[in-house]
């Protein structure tokens, strides 16, 4: 019997995502001037207020208040009527030195012997149902909000949009796990006030269905376009008026959108958030590494769908183990355990090796903090960072290195494909 599966996304203006972006902007600035920085920074945003808290070990000094304000302004919170804007909000910093008890388990005489920054398990996932090897429901949810953000910034076809928004997509699958059609789409978007609530709801619904969705569909492969149909159930701002939003409508915290950040409920999640953590924290680096493994395994033809788990003990160099689940889609005559053994021979999963392989000590993290950490485009961009003393640095930064298909040949050779 066919079944339904749903994933959601949230925009860069969602309160939790504002917090994530501020935390990752701090990470990038620390790493730009000191690549050995150890940072764990949490952010809270609420009406007119930002609170920064965490632990840092770094040789550089930053104006963290300015970084927070610049991030908020770049998202689009620039008006006093939002009750939260980058120019006037208060920014309180409670960042302090990293605990030596933690640091002694991570830093070693040889970088290769760097221990894991914490215990825990991390998961990576990939499926061949989309071109970027991501679950379709999540991919579409992200695309809807990225296009809505583009419309807001253009301020042409839709002129009343505010930064906070959410989306959700429900897909019908066949018994053999193939997407059949889009069953339902939910979009809730913050907006300027209207004189008439009924007129407002009708206009927003019309604009989402007739302007936003066609723009999203036009950018999709033909095979995915066919899943859209006239019977889709649309729920547009289903609670009605959505003028009060952002941190004024709901307090935001770093690390509260871990399923949006990963696979939309597909695969599994170890529970650790990403944003605000330097790559010595395996919550982040090992989650990227397992995504890298899973994507390359699927791209190489080992299986149609792969889940990879790795686990660590704090201060211990080697992982506790690697687990593989191919969900019965394996194309090789090996058990999941035998596949895991080969994977452990191909990929060095020591924390420092992951940092080196994926170039994680570069300031690449601001771009990850909205619209998902996985399934993004690997590209190189130029970024400039400034310190309070006027010193600035310009760097070429490679983004989303864990999305590269650079191990496909090695995997094919190891598996005889």
Q: Annotated binding residues for L-methionine, as ranges?
A: 55, 98, 250, 281
Return all residues near 333 (Cβ < 8 A) that are at least 6 apart: none
Contact in structure between 399 and 366 (CB atoms under 8 Å): no
| Nearest of 343, 3, 333 to residue 181 by alpha carbon | 3
DSSP 100-117: HHHHHHH--SSGGGPPBS
Annotated binding site for K(+): 42
Contact 256, 329 (CB under 8 A): no
Between strands 252-253 and 233-236, the pairing is unpaired
Q: Is 359 left (phi over 0), alpha (psi -120 to 50) or beta?
A: left
* DSSP structural state of residue 99: P
Q: Quick one: which of 310, 346, 345 has its CA closest to 325?
A: 310
Residue with tokens 């890298």: 292
Contact present, 356 and 383 (Cβ < 8 Å): no
Point out the annotated binding site for ATP. 14, 164-166, 241-242, 250, 256-257, 273, 277
* Binding-site residue set for Mg(2+): 16
**267-to-122, 138, 291, 302, 340 alpha-carbon distances in Å:** 11, 12, 11, 17, 16
**Cα(357)–Cα(355) distance, integer angstroms:** 6
Strands 252-253 and 38-46: antiparallel
Single out the residue of 133, 408, 371 nearest to residue 399, CA to CA: 371
Q: Which two tokens stand for residue 208?
A: 């989402």
The tokens for 251 are 């307090």
- Strand pairing of 90-97 and 49-57? parallel
Q: Which two tokens stand for residue 246?
A: 């952002």
CB-CB contact of 291 with 402 (8 Å): yes
Annotation: binding site? 14, 16, 42, 55, 98, 164-166, 241-242, 250, 256-257, 273, 277, 281
Residues 6+ apart with CB under 8 A from 36: 58, 59, 361
């Amino acid at each position: 019997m066919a079944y339904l599966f749903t994933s959601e996304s949230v925009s860069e203006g969602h309160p939790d995502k504002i917090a994530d972006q501020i935390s990752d902007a701090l990470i990038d600035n620390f790493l730009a001037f000191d690549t050995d920085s150890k940072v764990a920074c949490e952010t809270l945003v609420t009406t007119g207020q930002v609170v920064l808290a965490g632990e840092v070990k770094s040789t550089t000094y930053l104006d963290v208040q300015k970084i927070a304000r610049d991030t908020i302004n770049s998202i689009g919170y620039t008006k006093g009527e939002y009750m939260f804007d980058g120019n006037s909000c208060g920014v309180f910093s409670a960042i302090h030195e990293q605990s030596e008890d933690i640091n002694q388990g991570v830093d070693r005489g040889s970088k290769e012997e760097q221990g894991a920054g914490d215990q825990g398990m991390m998961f990576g996932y990939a499926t061949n149902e989309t071109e970027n090897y991501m679950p379709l429901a999540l991919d579409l949810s992200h695309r809807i909000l990225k296009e809505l953000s583009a419309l807001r910034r253009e301020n042409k076809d839709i002129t009343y949009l505010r930064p906070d928004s959410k989306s959700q997509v429900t897909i019908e699958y066949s018994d053999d796990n193939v997407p059949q059609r889009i069953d339902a789409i939910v979009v809730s978007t913050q907006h300027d006030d209207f004189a008439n609530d009924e007129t407002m709801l009708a206009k927003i619904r019309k604009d989402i269905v007739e302007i936003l969705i066609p723009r999203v569909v036009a950018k999709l492969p033909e095979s995915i376009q066919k899943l859209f149909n006239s019977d889709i159930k649309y729920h547009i701002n289903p609670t009605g008026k959505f003028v009060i939003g952002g941190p004024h409508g709901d307090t935001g915290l770093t690390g509260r959108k871990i399923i949006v950040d990963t696979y939309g409920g597909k695969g599994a999640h170890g529970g650790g958030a990403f944003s605000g953590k330097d790559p010595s924290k395996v919550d982040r680096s090992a989650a990227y590494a397992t995504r890298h493994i899973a994507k390359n395994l699927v791209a190489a033809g080992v299986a149609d769908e792969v889940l990879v788990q790795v686990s660590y003990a704090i201060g211990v160099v080697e992982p506790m183990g690697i687990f593989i689940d191919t969900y019965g889609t394996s194309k090789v005559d090996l058990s999941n355990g035998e596949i895991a053994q080969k994977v452990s021979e191909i990929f060095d999963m020591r924390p420092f090796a992951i940092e080196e392989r994926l170039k994680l000590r570069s300031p690449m993290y601001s771009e990850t903090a909205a619209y998902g950490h996985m399934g993004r485009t690997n590209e190189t961009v130029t970024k400039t960072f400034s310190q309070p003393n006027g010193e600035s640095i310009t760097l070429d930064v490679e983004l989303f290195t864990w999305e590269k298909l650079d191990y496909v040949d090695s995997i094919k050779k190891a598996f005889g494909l």
